[in-house]
Amino acid sequence: MLRVAVVGSGPSGVYAAQTLVQQREVPGVRVDVLDRLPAPYGLVRYGVAPDHEKIKSLQGSLRTVLEDERIRFLGNVEVGGAALPAARLLELYHAVVYCVGAARDRMLGIPGEDLAGVHSATAFVSWYSGHPDAAAEAFGLPGVDAAVVVGAGNVAVDVTRILARGAAGLAPTDMPQPALAALADSGLRTVSMVARRGPSQARFTTKELRELGTLPGVDARTDPAELALDPVYADPDAAAALPAVARRNLEVLRGWAAAAPAAGPRRIALRFYLRPVEVLGGPDGRVTGMRFERTAPDGRGGVTGTGVHEDVEAQLVLRSVGYRGVPLAGLPFDPVTGTVPHAAGRVLRAGRASVGEYVAGWIKRGPTGVIGTNRPCAKETASSLLQDAGVLSRRALPGDPLDALRAAGLRPVEWPGWMAIESAEADLGRSLGRRSVKIPDWPGLLAAAGAPPAL
């Protein structure tokens, strides 16, 4: 038997486990999927926007994999901490596949970023997704009339949409009740989503952009003068040469610029060619706005500052300028790329493949691509592992790793524990007159899972 630990139950971890048990070359592979959270599915549960039900429903196919009898889910097990160092994990298994994601946000690196009311999109996403590490009270929104979202990717679009959508559109989701109540009570009227470069360079996809323009009670606008700064905008030949997504995005924005204002209590303003310079604050230490420098195309695909500044009012600022991986103690890490060095998924230590250590997903290739991109990525890693199986399986293991985890003071939440959380969330939703509603805190999750108290 080949016993493998997959660390992380997001898409890459689940796809790696699936590939390992569903192949035929190496019989008898058994996989434990470990996660530091009591709940599986990684960012599909704690990142994908709650109002995107179709993508959320991917949890169903991940669940089918984790219910395979050759796979065991062990939640509430953090790897790399004092209780379970990476080296100890490798003693318990023939091989370990690290699929720990890359969900740390990047900073803007400008003055005022530490003012109250300035947050990463990651923190905001974690809050409305009910991640148990997010502080429940982090986003009191009373007094917030205007928000600025810095960034032009799909996560920036997600947080803009969640801020603008209003309670009626969010109540059918599994959003935790405190987050739903805070968004419902907010008097927010304007969300400005601001990009440093031009519309043809934005990274959001057309479906997500278009959706912003269809939200009930929301007027989605963009400034025709800012669109016109993009050299591609007025040049049909150059526009025709753009990738299809950028071309379609421009068409949507052209429509927004030409449309008559829509009636409604809220407004989304999509702004371009503005570089963040400083977050402005009041005497109480809270954000009051953001200062931007207008930029202009530099003719080489980048932008250059113009020295002209513009202040945009905001009582809430969310930065959404990219993700990066965090080092896991005991595992090599490249601080430049924010990933674990590897060759075809084999972890490299000092340039050489480390026996029994593998990596897949965002921590392998960086935070790019959609959920499906993790499937071929995980397959490549699993194939490398299976090629090495002959050597790896020669080592005798000390017994069932679950006993060793418990002996180390860990309290793994197994599949029945996760099922109990799911059913507690359904009960919570019923009691609130909603569908299933997430439990957003550690004590609540562990109590629902029936996990024994800490030793």
Ligand X SMILES: Cc1cc2nc3c(=O)[nH]c(=O)nc-3n(C[C@H](O)[C@H](O)[C@H](O)COP(=O)(O)OP(=O)(O)OC[C@H]3O[C@@H](n4cnc5c(N)ncnc54)[C@H](O)[C@@H]3O)c2cc1C
Closer residue to ligand X, CB minimum distance, 273 or 323: 323
Q: For ligand X, which is the closer residue by CB, 217 or 330? A: 330
190 SS3 class: strand
Among 3, 10, 90, 97, binds ligand X (CB under 6 A): 10
Nearer to ligand X, 15 or 256 (CB): 15
**N- to C-terminal Cα distance for the chain?**
32
Q: Is residue 155 part of the contact set for ligand X (CB under 6 A)?
A: yes
**Scanning residues 33 to 62, which ones bind ligand X (CB under 6 A)?**
34-37, 42-44, 47-48, 52, 55
Among 12, 18, 173, 339, binds ligand X (CB under 6 A): 12
Stretch that binds ligand X, among 31-39, 89-97, 349-357, 402-410 (CB under 6 A): 31-39
Kind of pairing, strands 71-74 and 118-120? unpaired
CA distance 336 to 354: 21
**Are 400 and 373 a contacting pair, CB within 8 Å?**
no
Distance of closest approach, residue 299 Cβ to ligand X, in angstroms: 33
Q: Residue 125, interface with ligand X (CB under 6 A)?
A: yes
Per DSSP, the residues of 75-102 read BS--SSSSSS-HHHHHHHSSEEEE----
Q: Which is nearer to ligand X, 200 or 374 (CB)?
A: 374
Based on the shown chain and the rule CB under 6 A, indicate whether residue 324 belongs to the binding site for ligand X. no
How many C-beta atoms surround the C-beta of residue 26 within 10 A?
A: 18
Interaction residues for ligand X, span 365-424 (CB under 6 A) = 369-371, 374
Q: What is the rounded CA–CA span in Å between residue 419 and residue 428?
A: 14
Strand order in the sheet with 274-281: 274-281, 287-297, 303-313
**Contact between 65 and ligand X per CB under 6 A:** no
Contacts of 179 (CB under 8 A, 6+ apart): 127, 128, 130, 139, 440
Q: Kindly state whether residue 163 participates in binding ligand X, applying the rule CB under 6 A.
A: no
Shortest distance, position 73 Cβ to ligand X, whole Å: 11
Q: Are 93 and 401 in contact (CB under 8 A)?
A: yes
What residues numbered 330-369 form the site for ligand X, per CB under 6 A? 361-362, 369
- Spell out the SS3 assignment of 228-263: HCCCCCCCHHHHHCCCHHHHHHHHHHHHHHHCCCCC
Tell me, by CB under 6 A, how many residues bind ligand X.
Answer: 35
- Residues near ligand X (CB under 6 A): 7-13, 34-37, 42-44, 47-48, 52, 55, 78-80, 99-101, 103, 125, 155, 158, 328, 361-362, 369-371, 374
